[in-house]
Structure formats: structure tokens, C-alpha cells
Amino acid sequence: MVAIDAGHGGADPGATYQGRQEKDDNLKLAVVVGSILADNGVDVRYTRTDDTYNTPLERAMMANNAEADYFISIHRNAMPTPGTGSGVETIVFEEKGIEGILAKNMGEELNKSGFTNLGTVERPGLVVLRRTKMPSVLVEVGYIDSESDNEIFDENLHEIAKAIANGILRAIKEQEETEPEYYQVQTGAYQIHTLAEKQVDELKAQGFPAFVVYEDGLYKVRAGAFRSIDNAVRMEQALRQLGYNTFMVKRPAVY
């Protein structure tokens, strides 16, 4: 799951230039990015889909509560002296691991859409980067006080959105290739298939993504398939609270 955050909103316009407001550009772009990701089979959540305001901490908590795997915050840049800045910049809490890959990929892809890639910087003080539990990147998509950057933004909006989406999709694929395992929670093992299916139906009725696998001569009932062990642990705890005897199973990813 990818959480898409359109920066600012409501009473907070973000950067402004000659009547143009950053919050509007951010939302316009965020919706297109999310649509492209969804078309590629990615589960997408938004921190806002209209002109509303939530604090940076609230946005981070939205992503955490949704148990998103990635968080992308979309913004536009500005300079104290209008017209003196140009290009895209990616911002991370720390430039390493999947966050570094995400930022690098998006910068490279956005460079193809017409912007100058200014690279990646670390800003650990930003709440949406510091308080999110998943890999998070804030991307500054051109300068709102730059006529040339606004022209690129307006004329190539879909290509820009596609560039951001491609950067995310590349990172997802790279992470799958470097971390090719996932976690399942097992709740039962039966010699009789119908008994396993009965428990699957019970679990599904309670909202769990359950299924049967045939392994070692037994029909085993499992729920979920998580790359993050933290998400798997949360499901296991929920199942145990309902009285199921569970244990964690690690399995290689299948492509």
C-alpha cells in the first residue's frame, strides 16, 4: 500500500505565486499519481482528496494507521526571491535503504519529464518523515515561483505523475528482489480439506484474508502475506485475541 499525501490544504495554501497556490498543484498531481499506481495494481490511500487541512502529524498518523508500506508527500518549492530556483528535489529522513532508492528513482524519472534533478537531501526534522513508520519521501516538484517550472508542470502533468509513479514502482520491484520473503500467520492444520475450508470461511467472516495451502500432507489455514513482520505480528495478535492458536510462517515470494 502507498499513502499519497498532497501537501498543505484548507487554510494552509503552502507557497504562493501570482495567485497560484501550492496546495492546489499538490492535490492535482497527487490524484493523478494515485490513479496511475492503482492502474498498476497498487493499493493507494490519500491523506486528502479535497481542500482540507490536517497537521503534518495527523498525516503521518493516517499513513501509520492505514499500515501503508510507503509514504509519498507531494509539494512544490519556492525561493525568497521569485525566479531564482528551478528543478525537482527529493527529501528523506535519512538517505539510505528503500527511502534512498525511492528518492533516487523519483528524481531520475522526474528528470526525464523536463525538470532538472537537484538530487536528494536529508531533513530529519520534518514531521511527515520523522513520524511515519514506513519508508517516506517528500518530493518538491519544481518551483512554484518559476515561470519555466510552472510551464513544465502545467503542460506535462500526466508525464510528471507517471514519473513519480514509475519511481515508486521501480522501488517496490527492487525491494521485492532484495527482500524476497513474506510472512503468513497460520491458524490450523487439518488432514481433512473440508475442515480447513470451514475455518477459512470463519476467518473471512471475521474480516481476515484467509486461505488454504496443502503442505507436508496437511491442509494448512493461513491468513495474510506481509513483507513487514510488524504487520504480520499485528494480525497474529488480533487472531490470538479471538482465541486462535497461531504461529508465524516465513515463505519466499513467488514471482
Q: Are residues 129 and 190 in the same domain?
A: no
The pLDDT of residue 234: 92
Three cell numbers written together for 42: 497498487
Q: Are residues 114 and 199 in the same domain?
A: no
Distance of alpha carbon 173 from alpha carbon 55, whole angstroms:
31
CATH assignment at residue 192: 3.30.70.1070
Q: Are residues 171 and 214 in the same domain?
A: no
The pLDDT of residue 254: 44
Of 209, 124, 127, 139, whose CA–CA distance to 171 is shortest? 139
Number of domains in the chain: 2
pLDDT at 28 over 80: yes
pLDDT at 16 over 80: yes
Please tell me the pTM assigned to this model. 0.72
β strands within 66-199, DSSP E:
70-77, 88-92, 117-122, 136-143, 181-190
The pLDDT of 185-190, averaged and rounded, is 96
Q: Are residues 202 and 152 in the same domain?
A: no
Do 182 and 69 meet the contact criterion of CB atoms below 8 Å apart?
no
pLDDT at 253 over 60: no
The pLDDT of residue 125: 95
Q: Note down the domain range covering 233.
A: 181-252
pLDDT at 194 over 50: yes
The pLDDT of residue 102: 96
